[in-house]
Each structure stands twice: as structure tokens, then as C-alpha cells.
Amino acid sequence: MLQYCTLFNSLYLTRGLAMYNSLLKHCRDFHLYIVAFDDDCFYALSKLQLEHATIIPLSDFENENLLAVKADRTAGEYCWTCASSSVKYCIETYGLDHCTYVDADLLFFSNPKVLYDEMAEKSVLITSHRYTPQFDQSATSGIYCVQYVTFKNTAEGMAVLNNWVNACLEWCFNRFEDNKFGDQKYLDTWTQQFSGVHELEHLGGGVAPWNVQQYAFDHASGSIQGLELASNSRFNLVFYHYHGFAYALNNNYMLTNDTYPLNRNQIKHIYKPYVLALSEAEGQIELLEENIQAYKATNDGAWVKQVIGRSVLFFLRGFYKQFYSKRAIEYGFQN
């Protein structure tokens, strides 16, 4: 069984749920451990009763070392700090033989077991940014991306993991300083520093806005196929990282930041499925809300202690209801 962990708060609820659903679609032999970074997120995920997930409240996950640095870091920096610790927590708490940290804004398009199998006898798997040359930020952001990182519960794997945990506790900030950046630049030296680290070769793992320009995509045999333009090599898309995908008010949203251009092929085959996946996740949350309202109507006020926070419901209603806008048509999300 493939073991995964991730972390997110209520603002990323539908993204994390969409990621879970995509794993469920393509890989039923998995389990996802989710560290819920606020009470609303924990409550909603718990009520959804996800068969292949364990929901971990933040209070159970946080330890003295994390709490000691929390006040000195922004919310984003603290999430970066916690990524490595989430893997360690899951391996040690649940006795896992391995665990893969995944960012919440990934979507899986095929079975990721092929990525784990590529590790063979190695103990750690890391994924390169594979930057398109004009967007290369390796010097400041790192050669590798903390989006999909696997550690086996071996002496070698835990040595690398503990090294990463300690480094992130000592320094993990959203700036480039002394050849460090967040939790990410630490990975640059792992292949030289440790013998058991494998850099993923499969092109279908780690496609993202900063490298998608190198590929063309089509739908064949029930899956998304990628073509590397430089080598003419074909591959199955395993997962895509939707970095920078954000919603805005007034029936608009951003596909990504303006740094990375997208063409209609990428929008049709990569981004349209994500919009649909987020819409499905929103539907699950709306159904949960309806059940809560029914409970409210029949329990004479007792529902108050259990209802999802109004801030979460407002966010879901206001930001996720209008996928198929004029801008969606403009960018080719509708046929």
C-alpha cells in the first residue's frame, strides 16, 4: 500500500479533497494522512468520512520543537517547516514502512505506484523542477521541488529525513539567504550527501507551470499522454502541480501567475480536469453543509457546537461556485 501525507487548512479544503479524489480514482491501494491546520478543516474532513484517509488535528501533530519556532514564521513558512515533520510524524506514529509527502495542490492522472517502483533499493525519492530554461530558478528556489518526496523507514531514509526536519526547524523562511530557501534548497545536496537518494526520472511525475512548456498532451487510451517536444519521448502523466492556481472575486480566477505562459493544449488537457475536480470537491462540501442544516433543524440548537465555521462556508460559496465564467470560456475550459 502506498502511504501519503499532506497538510492544509480550510482555504485549501477543496484542493486537498480533489487531490484525495484523484488518488482514489487511480490508485485504490493507498492511504492519505492529512494534518488539518485549523478546526474547520478538521471538522469538515472528519465528517466526510474518507475511507482511505486519516485526519490528524493540528494539536496532535504539533510538538515542542515546532511550537518553539511557530511565532517567528509566517503561516506559509510554518507550513513549509511542518512538511518534513509531517512525514516523520506519520512514519513514527503509525508504524509505516514508507511515507510520501505530497502538496495539496496536486492532481493525479494515473497510478503513482510507478514512481515508488522507480526507487528500487533506494530510500529517498526527490523530484526535480525540470525548469524550462527561461524560467530556471534553481539557484534561488532549488533544483528540486518539495511537492512529492518519499522516505522509506530504513536507517538511511530516516537519517535523511531527520536531517531535513532539523534543518527546517533551525531555518525555514520565504527568502533566499546563505544558499537556503524555505524547506526546499536543502534538497540540492542530498544526492551527494547521502547514497540512498534517487532523483525521479519519470517525466510524468512533477509536471508543473515552470516546465509544462516543454510538453504537449493528448487523451489516449483513457489517460493523459505527454510528449516531450525536445526528445519526442512519450509518457503517461502521473501528477500535475497546480502552483499559483487561485480564485478571485467577481466571477474570475487566475490560472497561474503571469511568469509561466500556458497554451490551449495545456489548458484543455491539464487545467480543465482540475476545474472539474474542484467542482466535484465543492459538491461534496455542499452536501455536507446540507446534512449539517438538516441536523440543525432537528436538534434544537445542539448543532452549534458541530457546525462548520461560517468563514469556511462563505469562502466555499463565494469562491468556488462560478467556475464556468466568461473567462473560463475565453481560456478554453468549455468545449
Measuring CA to CA, which residue among 120, 123, 96, 127 is closest to residue 4?
96
Is the predicted pLDDT of residue 325 greater than 50, yes or no? no
By DSSP bridging, strand 124-128 and strand 197-199 are parallel
pLDDT tens digits along 250-276: 444 555 456 788 888 998 999 889 988
Could you tell me which residues come within 8 angstroms of residue 61 by beta carbon, excluding any fewer than 6 positions away? 35, 82, 85, 86, 89
Q: 21-32: per-residue pLDDT in tens?
A: 999 999 989 999
Distance set, CA 300 to CA 139, 295, 296, 303 (Å):
60, 9, 7, 8
Closest C-alpha among 20, 35, 160, 8 to residue 89: 35
Residues 180 and 187: their CA atoms lie apart, in Å, by: 10
Q: Calculate mean pLDDT across residues 282-303.
A: 64
Q: DSSP for 84-153?
A: HHHHHHHHHHHT-SEEEEE-TTEEESS-THHHHHHHTT-SEEEEE----GGG--HHHH-SEEEEEEEEES
Residue pointed to by grid coordinates 534553481: 138
**Spatial separation of the C-alpha atoms in residues 74 and 262, rounded to whole Å:** 30
If you average pLDDT over every residue of the chain, what do you get? 86
Instruction: Provide the 8-state DSSP code for 61.
Output: H
Residue 311 has pLDDT above 60, yes or no: no
CA-to-CA dists, residue 164 to 45, 182, 186, 318, angstroms: 29, 11, 7, 38
Rounded to an integer, what distance in angstroms lies between the CA atom of residue 4 and that of residue 43? 20
User: For residue 127, is pLDDT > 90?
Assistant: yes
Question: Could you tell me where in the chain the CATH 3.90.550.10 domains are found?
Answer: 2-206
| Chain-centroid distance, C-alpha 56 | 16
* Cα 124 from Cα 149, distance rounded (Å): 7
Please answer whether residues 34 and 123 qualify as being in contact, where contact means their C-beta atoms are separated by less than 8 angstroms.
no
2-206 adopts what CATH topology? Spore Coat Polysaccharide Biosynthesis Protein SpsA; Chain A (3.90.550)
Please state the pTM of the whole predicted model.
Answer: 0.87
SS3 assignment, position 324: coil
Q: What local confidence, expressed as pLDDT, does residue 43 receive?
A: 92
Rounded Cα–Cα distance for residues 302 and 314 (Å): 22
Distances (CA, A) of 240 to 66, 97, 228: 30, 26, 15
Which whole number is the average pLDDT over 154-161?
A: 98
Percentage of the chain beyond pLDDT 90 is 73
